[in-house]
Amino acid sequence: MSVIANRPKGTQDVLPADVYKWQTVERCAAGTAECFGFKEIRFPTFENTALFKRSVGDTTDVVQKEMYGVTAKSPANGKDPDDLTLRPEGTAGAARAAIENGLLKEVLPQKVYYMISCFRHERPQAGRLREFHQFGAEMYGSGDASADAEVIAMAKSLLDRLGLTNVELFINSIGCPECRAEYHKALKEYFGKHKDELCPTCLDRLDRNPMRILDCKSPICQGIAKDAPVILDFLCDECSAHFEKLKASLTDMDIEFSIDPKIVRGLDYYTKTVFEFITKDIGAQGTVCGGGRYDGLIEQLGGDPLPALGFAMGLERIIMTMENAGSEFVPARKCDLYIASMGEAAQRRAAVLANKLRAEGYFVEFDTMGRGLKPQMKYANKIGATFTMVLGDNELDAGKAKLKNMESGEQTDISLGDSFIDEFSNDLIAEMFKDPLDSI
């Protein structure tokens, strides 16, 4: 029988054998965020398209080429369907949720993090999928460069905890709207001399947003951009002072960085600080984290003027980098106890005992396939059970069974009565499972 349908191009399945890698990164990301005072926020997978056009920018590749629209087959109440889009990134949705739910009216700064799936119609390749996953963090309320340094420090802390040492931090400032206006004039003058060489997309960007040309993926446009004016030469006094304080703060925290004046990031909402963490371990798609400041976005989306900043990490790229770097993942949890049974009465008692241990946080399995004893023990070996116990008529009559340590072969008598839980959690076993809930 043929498969009914294959997974869509540019997506991937994460099977049980590999999901522990994702859980390692997700738990570490959440734990790191909470150490820095960030709290989790959740928001819809799709939003009104206008949100992304206004925040991300209608001259970006994301809006022009990559967004997935969402329509209902049958418009509600006979009306035209809403203009909705699957989120291509997380900052806009998080900001919208913070504004709409009054989060920004509470004590500042407000710090949130999220783990989400995002969608962009790109050419699939290693480290770049059409459905991908991000860990993101946003801070609202502080305009000081110390906040920029804190957010960067949080990103670095997570990368360090994941064992990624071959990652470099690059920073830049793209200024505020005032000093950027002068920079745009210089870019238009420079790129205007190369009109005949620019790709059609960049030719359209020349008048609307020339900084986007610096982010073009075309090798020809990249070559032209190499000699383009540098934004750092156009910073106003305030933006220049902000950038100097950021550099000083990072230096104080012993965070190494390099300045890359060509970093502009791919989204229009950025102002002042932009940064990227880049690795060479995964080839051309080496950016594992990117972010920066977006002081005008909250007002642009209808909120009161409020400075903000954040970053996002691609989980697929993080995992690829960890694999290539030989980083450790928290192993998938092994079965603590497999209860083999012979006969219906023993199988029913196995279910009761398993249920009691599971309520205490232990990982317990028993036979539901009607296998014989020998196949059950083979199955216990295959799933890596730490302990096994065999139940039959003799064990039920005696009210006790043999608990076997599968690694050492040592066997211990254990009661099947009221003291079963206490005996299973005796000193010997408690040493192996100090806190069974830790791995859940």
Residue type, position 253, single letter: M
CA atoms within 13 A on the CB side of 34: 7
**CATH architecture of the domain with range 19-176+236-325:** 2-Layer Sandwich (3.30)
Contacts of 328 (CB under 8 A, 6+ apart): 163
Averaged pLDDT score across all residues of the chain: 90
Rounded distance between C-alpha atoms, residue 345 and residue 45, angstroms: 49
Q: Between these two residues, 365 and 205, which has the higher pLDDT value? A: 365
Rounded distance between C-alpha atoms, residue 298 and residue 307, angstroms: 8
**Which range is most confident: 83-87, 284-288, 387-391?**
387-391
8 A C-beta contact, residue 313 and residue 118: no
8 A C-beta contact, residue 320 and residue 282: yes
What are the C-alpha distances in Å from 189 to residues 60, 95, 192, 212, 221? 21, 35, 5, 15, 15
**Per-residue pLDDT, 266:** 60
Residue 177 predicted with pLDDT over 70: yes
Three-state SS sequence of the chain: CCCCCCCCCCCCCCCCCCHHHHHHHHHHHHHHHHHCCCEECCCCCEEEHHHHHHHCCCCCHHHHHHCCEECCCCCHHHCCCCCEEECCCCHHHHHHHHHHCCHHHCCCCEEEEEEEEEECCCCCECCECCEEEEEEEEEECCCCHHHHHHHHHHHHHHHHHCCCCCEEEEEEECCCHHHHHHHHHHHHHHHHCCCCCCCHHHHHHHHHCHHHHHHCCCHHHHHHHCCCCCHHHHCCHHHHHHHHHHHHHHHHCCCCCEECCCCCCCCCCCEEEEEEEEECCCCCCCEEEEEEECCCHHHHCCCCCCCEEEEEEEHHHHHHHHHHHCCCCCCCCCCCEEEEECCHHHHHHHHHHHHHHHHCCCCEEECCCCCCHHHHHHHHHHCCCCEEEEECHHHHHHCEEEEEECCCCCEEEEECCCCHHHHHCCHHHHHHCCCHHHHC
Residue 380 predicted with pLDDT over 90: yes
Rounded distance between C-alpha atoms, residue 358 and residue 355, angstroms: 5
**Per-residue pLDDT, 221:** 92
Residues of the chain within CATH 3.30.930.10 domain(s) are: 19-176+236-325
Residue 436 predicted with pLDDT over 50: no
CATH 3.40.50.800 for the 337-439 domain, yes or no: yes
**Per-residue pLDDT, 427:** 46
**Per-residue pLDDT, 432:** 53
What are the C-alpha distances in Å from 104 to residues 37, 81, 109, 370? 16, 31, 8, 58
pLDDT in tens, 325-355: 889 999 988 999 999 999 999 999 999 999 9
| pTM for the model | 0.87
Residue 278 predicted with pLDDT over 60: yes
pLDDT in tens, 232-274: 999 999 999 999 999 999 999 999 999 998 888 766 778 999 9
Contacts of 353 (CB under 8 A, 6+ apart): 339, 364, 366, 416, 420
pLDDT in tens, 204-220: 888 888 888 887 888 99
Rg (CA), the chain: 28
pLDDT in tens, 44-102: 999 999 898 887 776 566 777 788 888 877 666 666 667 899 999 999 999 999 999 99
Rounded distance between C-alpha atoms, residue 157 and residue 179, angstroms: 32
**Per-residue pLDDT, 438:** 47
Rounded distance between C-alpha atoms, residue 28 and residue 31, angstroms: 5
